[in-house]
Amino acid sequence: MAIMMNNYFHDVATALLAASAFVIHAIVRTQAVMASREASLFFLRTYDQMVKFFRFALWWIIIGGIPRTVFYTSFEWLTPRTNCRCLH
């Protein structure tokens, strides 16, 4: 059960990493167009939050990827292999 939850959270962290990168890219482009004080404050606050999400997701992917890699053959590879869904 713990391995299954780790795999789920690893996938969520991957999505969070991609979403954070997209938001950072979007706010950088938006801030460049809107050169006002309010836009700069919004940019700084949002950028700081997105960087925190990005770093958290990156570390979760690295740390959570260790048990996922270790148990891959016994957990994720076992089901398709027993159902003959992969080539030997």
pLDDT reported for residue 4: 78
Give the whole-angstrom CA distance, residue 56 versus residue 2.
Answer: 20
pLDDT reported for residue 46: 86
Q: What mean pLDDT do residues 37-57 have?
A: 86
Give the tokens for residue 19.
């979403």
Largest CA distance in the chain: 61
Quote the mean pLDDT of the chain. Answer: 80
Given pLDDT bands bounded at 50, 70 and 90, which one contains residue 77?
low
pTM of the model: 0.65
Q: What percent of the chain has pLDDT over 90?
A: 3
Nearest to 61 by CA among 22, 14, 24, 15: 14
pLDDT reported for residue 2: 77
* 71 against 52, higher pLDDT: 52
